[in-house]
Every structure is written in C-alpha cells, then in structure tokens.
Amino acid sequence: MSTQSAQSDSTPSDPTDSVPAVVVPPVEEDTVLTPAAIASSAEQMFQNPTDTNLPMFPTLRRLFKGEYPSLAIMATTSFLGGLCEATLLLLIANLALSIGGNDLSEQKSLMFGLDKLPVNTLFMVAIGLTAIRLGLQYVASRSGARLTSRLTQSLRNGTFEDFIGASWEVQSAIPEAAVQDLLQRHLAKTQAAVISVGLLMSSGFMVMALLMSAFIVDPLASGAIVIFGGFLFMGLRPMTIKAKRLGRQQMQQGVIYSVQSREAIDLSLEIRAFGVSEDVADRLDKSTRSEIASLYKAQLMARMVTGIYTSAAVLIILAALVAMDAFLDQPLAAVGAIVVVLVRALNQTSGIQAAYHGLGDLVPYIQRLFEERQFFRDSRPPSGSVHLESIGKIEFTDVTYSYDGVHDALQDVSFTVEPGEAVGIIGPSGSGKSTLIQLLLRLRHASTGTYQLDGVQVGDIEDQSWFSMIAFVPQDSRIYDDTVANNIRFFRQGVSDEQIMEAARRAHVHEEILAMPDGYDTVLGSRGGSLSGGQRQRVAIARALVRRPAMLVLDEPTSALDMQSESLVHETLNELKGSVTLFVIAHRLSTLNSCDRIMVMDHGKLQAFGDRTDLESNNAFYKEALALSRIRT
C-alpha cells in the first residue's frame, strides 16, 4: 500500500503550512511503500527524531507565519515605549542633578530643549510620559498575550487533527505515550518559544529606542558601547548552539521516558502482582538520569551565559566611563544621562541574551513538531467521492495484504456476503482474522485484489457516508471520563437522548444504567469507574448501535465476560440478525450460534466458509474447536 499526500486542512495561520517532508526517504517512482515501511518510519521518528538541525530563524519564521501584523504591533509599541522610557530617564537624570544643586545653565541642551523647562513643568512632562509608557506597554502586552493564545490553540488543535487524520498504519505504529508527549511537552516547549520570541521583540525594540536616545546625547561613547556589546553577543553564540544540541538530546530522552512511564502505568497491575516494582522504578530512573544530564548542562549553561553577559556588559560601561573621563570633556548631565540609559539598556539586553540562548533549547521541539505533523499529513488517506446510501452485497476478490511486502498476512481471500447476513470468523492466532476485519473496516487497504460494496470499490466511497454506515466493537472496550450517555454518544453530534436509550435497550444495558446513582448522567472514570467488564462491553455495543449501522464488526465480544453478560450479548446478536450485516470474530464457538455462516482462517487464507453443519463435517479446525469447547448445536 502506498501513502498519498493529502492537502492540509489547516487555516492560513497554521504555522506548519508548507513545511517540507523530512522523514520518509525519497523512493523510485514505481516503488511501493509497504505498511511495515510506513510504520517503521513512524516508529523511528518518535524514538530517534530526524536531526535536521535547521537554523533557528527559518524555524521561527514558520512558527509565526501569518502572525506578522501582531508582531509589528508589538515591535512598534515597544519601540515607542522605549523612546518614552529613554526620554523619561534622561529627564529624571537632569531633574536629579538640578534638585541636587548643580548648575546646568552652562551645559549644552540634552533633550531637544526639554531640560531647559522649569522643574515643575518637567515633573508634569515626566508624569505624562509615564502614563503614555504604561498605555503602550498594555497594548504590547495584550498583543503578545493574544498571539501566544492564538498560536497555542492553533498548534494544539492542528497537531491532534493531523494525527487523528493520519493513516492507520502510522497511528498504530506510534506509542500512545509518544503522541501524548507530542501534544503536551512539545507543545508546551513551543508555547514557551512563542513567549520568548515575544519578549525578545519587546525588549529588542525597547533597547533600540534606548540606544537611539543615548546616541542623541553622545554618539561616540554610545557607538563604542554598542560595538563592544555586539562582539560580546556574538562571542556567546557557540554556547547557544551547544544549548540547541543539548535540547535535542533532552527531547529524545524525554520521549523515551514518556513511553516507559506510560507502559509502567498500563502494566501497573502486572507489576504489582509479579513484585517487580523496584525493577521498573530502576528502569525509569535510568531514563530520568539520561534526560536530567542534558537538562543540568543546559540549565548551567543558560545561567552562566546570563552571568557572563551581565558582568561583561558592566565592564564595558565602566571602560566607556573611564575613557570619557580621560579623553572627552563631557558635561556632568550628559555623563549621568548616558549612564542611566545604558544601565537600563543593559538590564534589557541581559534578558534578551538569556531568551535567545533559551530558544536554542526550545527550537528542536518546534522542528520536531513540524516534522511529525508533516509526516501525519503525508500519510493521510484520501476520501472517495461516492456517497453510500446502504450496504448491500460485500465482495472480496483475490484480496492479498502484506505488512512488509514479503510475507502475506492475507492471501487471495475471496468471498461474498449478502445484506443482513451474520458471519463468524474463527482461526488460530496469527491466521489473519484481525487483518481481515481491519480491511473490512477500511482501516487498511488491500495490496492486491478488490473489496467492493454493490460493485463500488470501498476506496471510492466518501468518508462521512462510510462512517455513518459501519460500526465496530473492539475486544478491549474503552470508556472515557464522561457520563454514560456521552460514552454511548461518542462525540457524534446530533445523537439524541432517545437514540442513546434505545441503543442501550438493544444492548441490554438500559436497566443497569438506570440503577446507577445518576442514571445516564453518571460520570464514569477513564477506566470505566464502577462498571463491570460485561457492562463496559455492552456500553460499547450500545455505542456501536446508536446510529443503527448497516454493518457491524465485533472482535471477541464475549471473550472476557461472565455467563450472564455473555448470554445478554448473545441475545443482542440474535435480535440484530437480518437487520444488519454482522461480522463476529470469536474463539468461543457459543458466540457464533447466531451466525448464518462461519469463515475459517488459517495462515492468511480462507480455509473454509460455510454453515456449522458443513464445517462440522468437512473442516478439521472447526471439528477440533468444537470438540474442545464441547458445544454442539
């Protein structure tokens, strides 16, 4: 099966638009990417992300694509606010000297003549500048906060939509913990990068305004300080590059920890029962140590960069003052004004250096987010265009499916199922039963051969009409943290309370739901709350029946049920006969009593397909299974 690129559904502001695919290597035109190759690429991506090492600024440009107006507002308001602050600082310096009794009448004008105004007037000007500065800061802060919120929402929603729209080959290959890490830690790091860029913009343009004001007072001294400051900034750049490498190491180790911790949570019962808690804790401790080692180095470097920059900048200002005293005859007011403005600029530039260095740690997360979203998009299967009105005759013709392109999981499977027929599927482990139902559900597509509904290729059927006609009950029924009613509704808009209760009646769980503390409004935990295994399974069946599907596929619906729950499921299956096309995978032959015909799978081949009487007479596997189960119909 070959993947086909799908057009992104993202809005124009989506920062991952037009990100080049970087994961799947180029192949020859007639080369087929097998499901195993696709799954392997997905797994390798999450365990060992591609080290693209893209430059920082192109990555940030993609991140802020479509948000340039907001950045322009932040830049403009920050620059104007910086001018107000610089003017205010210079006025304060002159006011302090005037109040201190210094005679400034013989000194040159510093602030376009403002310093020649009366002291009371200067106080009023200073208060006005403070108010304007506060207003500009509010506008910049509001713009930055809205930008961060908008980008966070876009990234979070877009990333999940890209994942959920990816092909099943990709989704099934990626550990749940890795996806959770992508949606949480990676997005949190990206959000931190957005905030850092906002701070860089605000502080950077404020520093520009401060330095421009200092140039007005004394171009020579200010220019020298700026030149030395630039050399200092560039001198610390290798440490920022090193921080980026440490960020990638920390990111990769963090993914491993997320996967292992999620596995430990899922296996908590077995871990407790086997008494291996300390061993599992040691395993997680090793992963933690690997991640923390990179974190320690990155944090130490970040703190040292800030300290080195601040100390060096102070030394530069001190050297400039010494030079001014030795070689220049500057008025006292000019010297004081320059010192005040440059100290304020120093305070801002140290923050800029720290934020810039921190971006070196955050950018790898952004790059990986881009890579994985593009990979999801490239794997998205295209939707057909044929609207499905009903499910009639189902035909498999010489269907073959291979995961690796070498060994066939299904081989030349052909059968026809009439509308309303109930079909059981049996066979030993590894016989191809699960692969067959994934093809029936259109989660995977045949490598060769055809799968048709009333002569229409299933790949040509439009997605929404297909999903409205089919339903699935997995072996491991999952419950999520919401009410019983919403667990049956399962995110499908337009499903009424009456439909929910009718589906629960058909699944023979309605009375038990009414006996719960809040009936259908009872909130269930993510693990099913107080529901028994049988109740969870019947809630899952009600979930499948709520839209009255035309085809229903059940995977081992009674494998873990007690006799009473199994009897209720059998009753549901008997009542559904004739009104829906049923496919039931089962190891318990009693589950197949309601089936019209039974498929026997073995080594990926359809070994036999007939009613129970035919199979009992002619099929060795069925006869052996019947003898083992001691069930005769």
d(CA 470, CA 513): 25
Q: 60 and 140 share a domain?
A: yes
Pick the last residue of a domain from 319, 351, 379.
379
Section 173-200 average pLDDT: 84
Q: Could you say which of 331, 356, 379 is where a domain stops?
A: 379
Q: How far is CA 215 from CA 86, 178, 281, 337, 621, in A?
A: 11, 52, 60, 11, 92
Q: Is residue 572 part of a domain?
A: yes
- Token pair for 146: 């809205």
pLDDT digits (tens, 9 = 90+) for 122-132: 778 888 888 99
Quickly list H helices, 165-218: 168-173, 176-181, 187-217
Query: Does 161 score more than 80 pLDDT?
Result: yes
Does residue 57 share a domain with residue 100? Answer: yes
Tokens describing residue 255: 């993914």
Q: Is residue 326 located within the same domain as residue 262?
A: yes
Query: Could you tell me if residue 577 is inside a domain?
Result: yes
Average pLDDT value for residue range 564-573: 86
Domain that holds residue 533: 394-629
In a domain, 435, yes or no: yes
Please check whether residues 373 and 464 belong to one and the same domain.
Answer: no
Based on the fold, state whether residues 375 and 405 are members of the same structural domain.
Answer: no
pLDDT, average across residues 361-386: 87
Check which CATH number belongs to the domain holding 61 and give it. 1.20.1560.10
- Give how many domains the chain has, as a whole number: 2
- 23 assigned to some structural domain: no
DSSP per-residue codes, 441-463: TTSS--SEEEEEETTEEGGGB-H
556 and 422 in a single domain? The answer is yes
Please state, rounded to an integer, the average pLDDT across all residues of the chain: 78
Contact between 561 and 540 (Cβ < 8 Å): no
- Among 382-386, 423-427, 619-623, the range of highest mean pLDDT: 423-427
Closest CA to 438 of 406, 408, 401, 412: 401
Predicted pLDDT at 530: 73
330 and 324 Cβ atoms separated by less than 8 Å? yes
Look at residues 415, 406, 461, 410 and name the one whose alpha carbon lies nearest to residue 438: 410
Lowest mean pLDDT: which of 90-94, 114-118, 268-272, 526-530? 114-118
Please say which residue of 379, 403, 425 terminates a domain: 379
Q: Are 337 and 91 in contact (CB under 8 A)?
A: no
Q: Is residue 319 scored above 60 in pLDDT? A: yes
> Do residues 489 and 523 both lie within one domain?
yes
Report yes or no on whether pTM surpasses 0.75. no
Are 449 and 327 in a shared domain? no
Q: What is the per-residue pLDDT across 51-67, written as a single tens digit (0 to 9) for each?
A: 445 577 888 888 898 88
- What does the pLDDT average to over 419-444? 92
Mean pLDDT value of segment 92-113: 54
